[in-house]
Structures are given as structure tokens and as C-alpha cells.
């Protein structure tokens, strides 16, 4: 059995105290009694947010979130950094979870959200002022460049609920549903996020604004993950550009066609800037001179994993140009240089996220960084870049990057004291030959103190998405160093159907869930188990979402390779998944069509290879994990898989979270997840 490192800590997050004067949260210096990661240590790391750079480029404000295990909650506070030397001061220390920090356009004040309202403060944390007092709170904001107005967004109820229809039944607890999408990811859809524009004066509290989408039964930002990055003001503050999918019901559920709309403040007119472009169009950014609009664009309607292109529009002529036709990679996190000549962005190449730039004049794309890491944001600051970066061995920190050399310098050091006490396992990149003679990148993560003369159990990691790259991500659930600290070797392949290796590699999985990518998984583990230090009789297989589907499928097809399985939020019955999921465009594209379409060979092949149809072959212990509020893959999928395993006489356990969704976000639930995960693997592999 694995060692339980006696919590390894003199004082863990559970022992951290509240600051009685402020109600804030103070983390002591944790003194570890071992150099191995534990769940408690993992949840002790500070989670660094993306820094917002001041207009003068000299300072940045950012958030850090810590979790208190005893209270089972998070505390988020704001910090101000001097970019030249990285020195930071703490601006807030309360129980209110300040977040979404930014700057007033004149750079004199720091803006942020707390308790559902917009606030401002001076750069020393003084003179706090509540800017909005909106009934029900707001979800995000954006200042007009001339500071005359603020755009904010919040939920608006546009359809009567059961109590509106029957006011004499105040205790009735029900929903009367007439159309799709009625639930999404982890929330019941009872409101539509609308954008409001309000006059701004730093001497008056904003009580309300004008709904620029009044009466429209669609939202902006677009659910489930859209935020303020989906909006941008024109530099002259005369118009606001926003993202919306202006469809309703079945059309909404089966389409990814979001467009960019320009709202003119003087006339009240709204114009579709991307009409005729059929896929996702999102994250608009306007050049400082107001001449150019750049955004992220997908080409095909209904395909949410299409190539993300970098489009630029001449706002005067309306001409659009795709600058990434010859660039077989995705783009994200677009930001303009102050001279209007360069767009900086992040792109995934061969399972790492690097910083790139586009020269608008020449159309040339340049790569600026290289390494075993993922950059997650970038912003130009003078002749340098301010960026955030993480890896499998280190959580996110803030860095200053030289775009000429690609060298970076850490500035934040939020987690240095913990990292200095921990020994991380070696991360190795391998290229493995697949069954169709392709080269596949596989990450191997080894235990600390790895000894090649010993035999270790190994875990095959099956990735989700399905089109989510196995890059150098740091996860607070699927943390490879956490697994390695428990003396497992992790095999993490970038199988077919993942970005970063060209669009052909990425798209192969669509309509072929049970095909080549399953062979790729087995190629990866079969190659790894040839190593003398891997015990081929102690192999496990784990994954979530599509990775959970992969576990269920492999459980019926693994030819006794594995001795233990763990599936989190996995698809067990593909037909039921098609009938119960909410984003129907996803099911239509990935599964190839509907179960009732008998002439559709792709769809029929998909459903004929549903994992539940092969459960009669299950003979290996399996742990099933699912959350009740998972509306992407309904919790009944996990229940069905567990029930079938038990009826088959296969050792099985079901970890059920009534309040969690597709993820596990609660602190104590997250620690419970880790403990259950390793207890199951240890039982069958050690």
C-alpha cells in the first residue's frame, strides 16, 4: 500500500487561521515533514490569476486565491506588482473574495468585483468606493476608454417561471420547460446574460443602466464560460462590440454560430460584423488607433473544436483577412501592441503552449518561446512581455519574458516556499509509433527518487475534451505530480483527436470515438510497459469526461492489460448521452448524427460501439465518480456503469458528489477525491 505521509505538514491549509481584524485569510509558512506531494499540500498552493497591466505599463494588479480546508471555502485577495522588479504589495485582506481586477482607463484607480458589485480603490488599497449598486448584482464590467460610461452584464429573466404563472402556489418547486437549452454545464437556464450601459461618474453610485439587448432571448457573454473578454469598446467610446449567438431553442442547441455585434451608442443601432461567418467568432480586440478589429474565429457551424483562426477586419472598409491560413495551429489570448503593428497570442504546438506574434504589415507569424511549459496569458509591456506560465511540475506564476531571446524571469514567487520543500518527479517527452505508423508524443512522469532498478506500477491517463491537448498543464485534480508522489509512473499520450499536432490529427476522432485513438492509447501503454522498471502486471487506466468514456470502452476491450480502472464523469451509454446532453451541436458533430438516423453509417458505427454494449466483457475492478450537477454528462451515466459492474460481479465503487458538476471544485470534496482515487489504485496495483 502507498505511504500516507502523515499529512507531511506541521501546519497545513486546515490549520491556517482567519485574520480576526479583517475577516481575511492568512497562510502561514508551511513546514513539510516530507518532500512528497499530498492532497492537503496540493490544495495549499496559491492560485495566481492573470495580471491586468496598468495603462502606463509600470504596474500590474492580480489576484491570488487560497483555500481554507476547515471552512471548505476559498479566499481571494488582490495584489499590486511593480513590473520592473516584481515587488508586490497586498491590497485587500477580507472575506469578500475580491476578483476581476483591472484599471480605470486613466490608470489612477484599480477596479474590481466583490459581493456581485463593481468597486474602485487607489493603488495603495485606500479610498475604497462602491461603483455599482445593481439589484441582483452584476457578473462583469468594462469601462469606456473616455470613462464616460461603464458596460456591465448580468442575468435577466425573460420568461415566466412557475411562480409567475401560478402565484397562488408559492411553495411549488418545479420548472415548466418548453424549449432548449434549459440547462447548461452546471446551471439551470432561468436567465439570459444581457449587457447594460450606464453613465459613469466617480462621485455617484450606479443604480442601473440601459439594456442594449432588451427583450432578446439570447445572451452575451455566451454561456457557459464567456466573460468580459467577450466585449470591447471602440477607442473613441462611441460603440461597443460584443459576442452573441442570436438563436433560440433547437437552433441554439445545434449551432456554434456566434457573431460579433457592434452597438452604436448614439443611434442605438446594432450591426452584425461577422454575418455569413458560420462558426464561433469570439474574443474581439480593437487596435489602439481604432482601425483594426482582431478576433478568434472558427469556420464551421456545429464544430466546437474547429481550428481557431486569427481574423482581422479593417473597420473602415469592412474587409476581413484570415492571417492563419498557412498556420496549422490554434490561436488564443489575442492582444495588440501599442503601435498597432503586432498582435501577440498563445498557441499550442506539440503539447506546450507558447507565445507567438503576428506582424500585421507583413503577415509573418513568429514564435518567441520554447520549453516544457504552458504560457497561459501574455501582454506587451514596453520592450518586454508580462505573461503567466505553468507546467506539470509548477502551478501558475507571473513572468517577464524577453520576446527576442525567449528567456523569462519569474516575478511573483507565490508558491516558492512550498515548491522549495517538494521534490517533483522527472517529466520526459517520448515519441511513440502508432498502429498506423504515425509518431505520437507521450509524456512520462516518474516518481520522485525514481530508481530504474525497481519495478513500478503505471497509470495510463486518458484525456478529456475529447479535443483537449495533454500539454504542460497544472491541475488541482488530475495532477500528474500528485500521482507520481504516490509512486506511480504516468503515461499521458497525445492520442488522435488532440490539438497541437495539426488539424488532421485533431479532427480524426470526430465520428470515430472507438477507433484509432483507442489504438493510440494502447500503443502508448504497450510501449511504456516494455521498460524494465514498469511492472506490466500492475497497470491502471484513468480518465474524466471523454477520458471517462475511454476508460469504460477500454474496460471492455483491454485484453487484460489493466488491473484497475477509474472513470470520472464518463459516457457509458452513447445513445442516452445523445438524448440527455445540452449542447446538441457537440453530439451531432462528434457522434456523426442521431441514433434514429439509420442511413447514417457514421452515427450507426458510433452508437454500435457504445461502452455499455461491451460491459459483458468487464472483468476488472472499476471506480466510478460523478457529480449530480453535471449536465454535460448526466450523473445517471455513472450510476448505470456502477450498477452494471456490480451486477457483473466486478469489484466496483461509486464516489458520488451531490453538489459537484463536471468538475470537483470544493476544497474538502477535492481532497476526498484524491484520497479515494489513490486508495482504489493502491488496493489493486500495490
Neighbours of 116 (CB within 10 A): 12
CB 645 within 8 A of CB 453: no
- Supply the residues annotated as catalytic: 545, 630, 662
User: Which set of grid coordinates corresponds to residue 474?
Assistant: 497544472
- Kindly report the CA angle at 12 between 6 and 16, in degrees rounded to 5? 150
* Distance of alpha carbon 237 from the chain centroid: 31
Q: Would you say 287 and 340 are in contact if contact means Cβ atoms under 8 Å apart?
A: yes
Give, for 497, the enclosing helix (H) or strand (E): none
Q: Which H/E stretch holds residue 190?
A: none
The answer to whether 82 and 56 have CB atoms below 8 angstroms apart is no
**Quick one: pLDDT at residue 29?**
74
Mean pLDDT by 10 residues, the chain (686 residues): 31 34 64 93 96 97 96 97 97 96 98 98 96 97 98 96 97 94 93 97 91 95 94 98 96 97 97 97 98 98 97 97 98 97 98 98 98 98 97 98 98 96 97 98 98 98 96 97 98 98 96 97 98 98 98 98 98 97 95 96 96 98 98 97 98 98 97 98 98
CATH of domain 424-685: 3.40.50.1820
- β-bridge partners, 388: 377, 398
The upper half-sphere exposure of residue 517, i.e. CA atoms within 13 Å in the direction of its Cβ, equals: 30
Question: For residues 520 and 434, is the Cβ–Cβ distance under 8 A?
Answer: yes
Q: What is the length of the chain? A: 686
The span from the CA of 104 to the CA of 142, in Å, is 9
d(CA 376, CA 370): 14
User: Among 678, 669, 663, 668, which residue's Cα sits nearest to residue 623?
Assistant: 678
pTM: 0.94
Residue 644: its pLDDT value, please?
98
DSSP letter (8 states) at residue 440: E
In this structure, what are the phi and psi dihedrals at residue 196, rounded to the nearest 5 degrees? -120, 145
Strand residue runs (E) in 463-570: 489-493, 534-544, 564-568
Residue 437 to residue 431: CA distance in whole angstroms = 12
**By three-state DSSP, how is residue 271 classified?**
strand
Q: Is 291 left (phi over 0), alpha (psi -120 to 50) or beta?
A: alpha
CA 312 vs CA 271, 287, 417, 546, 562: distances in Å: 17, 10, 44, 34, 49
* Integer Cα distance of 140 and 210 in angstroms: 15
Q: Is 138 left (phi over 0), alpha (psi -120 to 50) or beta?
A: beta
Distance CA 134, CA 209 (A): 9
State which H helix or E strand residue 670 sits in: helix 667-685
Measured distance CA(511)–CA(508) in Å, rounded: 8
* Location of C-alpha cell 467610446: 237
In this structure, what DSSP letter does residue 617 have? G
Q: Residue 466's pLDDT is what?
A: 95
Please tell me the distance from the alpha carbon of residue 382 to that of residue 337, in angstroms, as a whole number: 9
Residue 58: C-alpha distances to residues 86, 382, 408 (Å): 10, 9, 17
At residue 384, the pLDDT reads 97
**DSSP-derived secondary structure for 318-365:** --EEETTTT--S--EEEEE-TTSSEEEEEEEETTEEEEEEEETTT--E
Secondary structure tally for the chain: helices H, strands E: 13, 41
564 and 483 in contact (C-beta within 8 Å)? no
Residue 23: predicted pLDDT: 64
Cell of 182: 434549459
Q: Please give the pLDDT value at position 26.
A: 65
- Spatial neighbors of 475 by CB under 8 A, at least 6 apart, are none
Beta bridge partners of 79: 62, 90
Instruction: Determine the pLDDT at residue 12.
Output: 33
Amino acid at each position: 500500500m502507498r505511504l500516507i505521509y502523515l499529512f507531511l505538514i506541521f501546519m497545513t491549509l486546515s490549520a491556517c487561521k482567519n485574520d480576526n481584524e479583517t475577516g481575511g485569510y492568512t497562510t502561514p509558512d508551511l513546514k513539510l515533514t516530507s518532500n512528497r506531494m499530498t492532497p492537503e499540500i496540493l490544495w495549499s498552493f496559491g492560485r495566481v490569476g492573470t495580471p491586468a497591466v496598468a495603462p502606463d505599463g509600470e504596474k500590474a494588479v492580480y489576484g491570488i486565491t487560497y483555500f481554507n480546508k476547515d471552512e471548505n471555502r476559498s479566499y481571494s485577495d488582490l495584489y499590486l506588482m511593480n513590473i520592473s522588479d516584481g515587488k508586490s504589495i497586498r491590497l485587500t485582506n477580507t472575506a469578500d473574495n475580491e476578483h476581476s481586477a483591472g484599471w480605470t482607463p486613466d490608470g489612477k484607480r484599480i477596479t474590481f468585483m466583490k459581493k456581485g458589485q463593481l468597486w474602485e480603490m487607489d493603488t495603495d488599497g485606500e479610498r475604497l468606493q462602491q461603483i455599482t449598486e445593481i439589484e441582483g448584482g452584476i457578473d462583469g464590467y468594462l469601462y469606456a476608454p473616455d470613462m464616460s460610461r461603464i458596460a456591465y452584464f448580468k442575468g435577466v429573466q425573460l420568461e415566466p417561471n412557475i411562480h409567475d404563472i401560478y402565484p397562488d402556489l408559492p411553495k411549488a418547486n418545479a420548472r415548466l420547460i418548453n424549449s432548449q437549452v434549459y440547462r447548461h454545464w452546471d446551471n439551470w437556464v432561468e436567465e439570459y446574460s444581457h449587457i447594460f450601459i450606464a453613465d459613469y461618474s466617480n462621485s455617484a453610485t450606479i443604480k442601473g443602466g440601459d439594456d442594449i439587448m432588451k427583450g432578446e432571448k439570447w445572451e452575451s457573454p455566451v454561456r457557459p464560460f464567456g466573460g468580459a473578454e467577450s466585449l470591447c469598446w471602440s477607442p473613441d467610446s462611441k460603440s461597443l462590440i460584443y459576442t452573441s449567438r442570436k438563436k433560440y431553442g433547437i437552433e441554439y442547441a445545434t449551432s456554434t454560430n456566434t457573431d460579433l455585434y457592434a452597438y452604436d451608442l448614439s443611434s442605438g443601432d446594432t450591426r452584425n460584423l461577422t454575418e455569413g461567418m458560420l462558426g464561433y467568432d469570439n474574443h474581439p480586440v480593437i487596435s489602439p488607433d481604432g482601425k483594426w478589429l482582431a478576433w478568434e474565429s472558427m469556420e464551421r457551424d456545429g464544430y466546437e473544436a474547429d481550428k481557431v483562426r486569427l481574423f482581422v477586419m479593417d473597420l473602415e472598409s469592412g474587409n476581413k483577412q484570415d492571417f492563419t491560413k498557412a498556420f496549422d495551429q490554434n490561436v488564443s489570448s489575442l492582444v495588440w501592441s501599442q503601435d498597432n503593428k503586432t498582435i501577440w497570442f498563445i498557441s499550442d504546438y506539440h503539447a506546450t503552449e507558447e507565445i507567438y506574434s503576428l506582424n500585421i504589415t507583413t503577415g509573418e507569424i513568429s514564435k518567441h518561446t520554447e520549453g516544457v511549459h504552458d504560457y497561459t496569458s501574455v501582454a506587451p509591456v514596453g520592450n518586454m512581455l508580462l505573461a503567466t506560465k505553468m507546467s506539470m511540475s509548477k502551478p501558475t506564476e507571473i513572468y517577464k519574458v524577453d520576446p527576442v531571446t525567449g528567456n523569462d524571469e519569474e516575478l511573483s514567487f507565490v508558491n516558492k516556499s512550498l515548491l522549495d520543500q517538494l521534490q517533483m518527479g522527472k517529466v520526459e517527452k517520448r515519441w511513440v509509433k502508432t498502429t498506423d505508423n504515425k509518431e505520437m508524443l507521450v509524456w512520462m512522469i516518474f516518481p520522485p527518487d525514481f530508481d530504474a532498478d525497481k519495478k513500478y506500477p503505471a497509470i495510463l491517463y486518458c484525456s478529456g475534451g475529447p479535443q483537449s491537448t495533454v500539454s504542460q498543464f497544472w491541475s488541482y485534480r488530475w495532477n500528474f505530480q500528485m500521482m507520481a508522489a504516490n509512486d506511480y509512473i504516468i503515461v499521458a499520450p497525445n492520442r488522435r483527436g488532440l490539438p497541437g499536432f495539426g488539424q488532421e490529427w485533431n479532427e480524426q476522432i470526430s465520428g470515430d470515438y472507438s477507433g484509432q485513438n483507442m489504438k493510440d492509447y494502447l500503443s502508448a501503454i504497450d510501449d511504456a510497459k516494455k521498460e524494465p522498471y514498469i511492472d506490466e502486471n500492475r497497470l491502471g487506466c484513468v480518465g474524466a469526461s471523454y477520458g471517462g468514456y475511454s476508460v469504460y470502452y477500454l474496460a471492455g476491450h483491454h485484453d487484460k492489460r489493466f488491473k484497475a480502472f477509474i472513470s470520472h464523469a464518463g459516457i457509458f451509454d452513447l445513445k442516452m448521452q445523445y438524448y440527455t446532453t445540452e449542447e446538441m451541436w457537440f453530439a451531432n458533430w462528434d457522434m456523426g448524427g442521431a441514433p434514429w438516423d439509420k442511413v447514417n453509417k457514421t452515427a450507426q458505427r458510433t452508437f454500435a460501439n457504445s461502452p455499455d454494449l461491451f460491459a459483458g466483457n468487464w472483468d476488472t475492478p472499476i471506480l466510478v465518480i460523478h457529480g449530480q450537477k453535471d449536465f454535460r454528462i448526466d450523473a445517471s451515466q455513472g450510476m448505470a456503469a456502477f450498477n452494471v459492474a456490480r451486477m457483473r460481479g466486478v469489484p466496483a465503487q461509486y464516489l458520488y458528489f451531490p453538489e459537484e458538476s463536471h468538475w470537483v471544485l470544493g476544497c474538502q470534496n477535492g481532497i476526498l477525491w484524491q484520497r479515494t482515487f489513490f486508495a482504489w489504485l493502491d488496493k489493486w496495483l500495490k
